[in-house]
A = this chain, B = another copy of it.
Amino acid sequence: MIYADYNGSAPLSTAVKEYLIHRINTGPFANPNSSHHLGAKTMLGMNNARKICAQHLGAREDQIIFNSGSTEGTTTVFHSLLSEASATKTPYIFISNIEHPATHTTALSYEKQGFKVKFIPVNENGAIQISVFEQMVKEYRGQIAMAAVMASNNETGVLQPFEKIALICKDEKIPSFSDTTQYVGKLPFDFQKSQLDFAVLSGHKFGAMVGTGILLARDYRQVKPILLGGGQERNLRSGTQNYLGNETLAVALDAFAKKSNRIEILKHKKNDFEKKIKAAFPSVKIIGETVARLPGTTYLAYPKLFGQAIQIELESRDIFVSTSAACSDDKPITSRVLKAMKVDDATGRGGIRISLSIESNLEDSDSDYDKIYLALKDIYHKLLKINCF
């Protein structure tokens, strides 16, 4: 079985599986906020996890707020930045036009309150151009409530200049947010260095447990909680902390750091795979081919062939890919992200997203990429024949 849908969700990493089985067998289990020593031990373990996460994310411990994942994190960021902002003085919310639905939909929901969403366009490679952003900032200077640009796109893997944007935002005093969900655990990330005010991530995208996440806040006093109650996470996120899950965040980030030498191997294998596919099938399009992308993401389209047909054929060979983002995987239409890149429908409907990880089999002779290449070659030939009839 080849799992090639890491951008959809990563399986529990080997380190996390081992950790969890040991952890479940040995305990302790307690409310981390209970004052007896089982509670204290649980809290200590979780705060140790916080420390490890902070180290691996280039953040201070007080910048880490554990939550249930990026959708919750994103909602908290918008609430923090907009609930007391003036829709009259600073009506503009800047977001890229390729954001994940969590950012896209949440931003648009603030239009009811008088804010206006301005989309930062991407070029045909799916990347934001700094000059375009600068021009927009110039045009709306002093009226921008916040700017959100994801670190890398979930569908295409195209890296965005989120650090440069954060720097411009810092100079212009615009609060900045980046959805780093598809970036953390795939490439090294340094929150301090990024200059971002806020970032979010989800554990299940890099081998930690599903239902876990972190909100990174430059200044935790800027966070306005959306969940009120017991006052956990220094009053910033009430609700008994998911200590088991939060521990796996540390284990997965640690495992990633230890295996980070495999990032280059992954990138190399992917480039090699893309070259071979293009050589064998010159009609194939690789979305964002010429720009920097995540090391393990290839969005591959064979114009006129349906992505779903290719996906099903791959599946019959025990290879699992997506046709687009997981949340819209069942819609046979050109996605919003591809439309933003002006990808035509013939191509857009024909795409599959192959997303591997440093946990994938990358051994030279018989790697996952080699197997996917052989399978695709076979499938393209078969489907093209059918197409001819």
Q: A residues engaging B (CB < 8 A)? A: 3, 5, 8-12, 17, 20-21, 24-25, 27-31, 33-39, 67-72, 74-75, 100-106, 109, 202, 204, 209-212, 226-232, 238-245, 308, 311, 315, 320-323, 325-330
B106 and A229 contact, CB distance less than 8 A: yes
What are the residues of chain B within 8 A of A329 when measuring CB–CB?
A: 33-36, 39
What are the residues of chain B within 8 A of A36 when measuring CB–CB?
A: 5, 311, 315, 320-322, 329
The answer, among B101, B210, B321, for a CB contact under 8 Å with A245, is B210
A100 and B25 contact, CB distance less than 8 A: no
What are the residues of chain B within 8 A of A321 when measuring CB–CB?
A: 36
What are the residues of chain B within 8 A of A311 when measuring CB–CB?
A: 35-36
The answer, among B9, B25, B31, for a CB contact under 8 Å with A31, is B9
- The answer for the CA separation of A314 and B21 in the assembled complex, in Å, is 30
Q: Tell me how far the C-beta of A23 lies from the nearest C-beta in chain B, rounded to whole angstroms.
A: 10
Specify the chain B residue showing the minimal Cβ separation from A27.
B11
Q: Tell me how far the C-beta of A301 lies from the nearest C-beta in chain B, rounded to whole angstroms.
A: 17
Q: Tell me how far the C-beta of A79 lies from the nearest C-beta in chain B, rounded to whole angstroms.
A: 9
What are the residues of chain B within 8 A of A212 when measuring CB–CB?
A: 211
A21 and B29 contact, CB distance less than 8 A: no
B35 and A330 contact, CB distance less than 8 A: yes
Could you name 22 residue pairs across A and B whose Cβ atoms are closer than 8 Å?
Answer: A5-B31, A11-B29, A12-B29, A33-B327, A36-B315, A37-B320, A68-B239, A69-B239, A71-B228, A71-B239, A71-B240, A74-B229, A75-B226, A100-B230, A101-B238, A102-B229, A209-B242, A209-B245, A210-B242, A211-B211, A230-B327, A230-B328
B105 and A228 contact, CB distance less than 8 A: yes
- The answer for the CA separation of A249 and B164 in the assembled complex, in Å, is 44
Q: Tell me how far the C-beta of A336 lies from the nearest C-beta in chain B, rounded to whole angstroms.
A: 13
Specify the chain B residue showing the minimal Cβ separation from A244.
B210
What are the residues of chain B within 8 A of A327 when measuring CB–CB?
A: 33, 229-232
What are the residues of chain B within 8 A of A27 when measuring CB–CB?
A: 11
Q: Tell me how far the C-beta of A325 lies from the nearest C-beta in chain B, rounded to whole angstroms.
A: 8
What are the residues of chain B within 8 A of A75 when measuring CB–CB?
A: 226-228
- The answer for the CA separation of A342 and B329 in the assembled complex, in Å, is 57
What are the residues of chain B within 8 A of A71 when measuring CB–CB?
A: 227-230, 238-240
- The answer for the CA separation of A330 and B31 in the assembled complex, in Å, is 13
What are the residues of chain B within 8 A of A240 when measuring CB–CB?
A: 9, 69, 71, 202, 204, 210-211, 326
- The answer for the CA separation of A102 and B75 in the assembled complex, in Å, is 19
In order of increasing CB-CB distance, the 9 nearest A-B pairs are A211-B242, A102-B229, A230-B327, A71-B239, A11-B29, A9-B31, A68-B68, A31-B326, A8-B31
- The answer for the CA separation of A384 and B9 in the assembled complex, in Å, is 58
B34 and A8 contact, CB distance less than 8 A: yes
What are the residues of chain B within 8 A of A320 when measuring CB–CB?
A: 30, 34, 36-38
What are the residues of chain B within 8 A of A10 when measuring CB–CB?
A: 29
- The answer for the CA separation of A27 and B3 in the assembled complex, in Å, is 12
Q: Tell me how far the C-beta of A17 lies from the nearest C-beta in chain B, rounded to whole angstroms.
A: 5
What are the residues of chain B within 8 A of A232 when measuring CB–CB?
A: 327
- The answer for the CA separation of A139 and B339 in the assembled complex, in Å, is 58
- The answer for the CA separation of A180 and B106 in the assembled complex, in Å, is 30
Specify the chain B residue showing the minimal Cβ separation from A324.
B35
What are the residues of chain B within 8 A of A69 when measuring CB–CB?
A: 239-240
**Given A35-B329, A102-B239, does the pair A24, B20 have CB atoms closer than 8 Å?**
yes
**Given A12-B24, A21-B24, A29-B11, does the pair A228, B38 have CB atoms closer than 8 Å?**
no
Specify the chain B residue showing the minimal Cβ separation from A37.
B315
A227 and B315 contact, CB distance less than 8 A: no
What are the residues of chain B within 8 A of A245 when measuring CB–CB?
A: 209-211
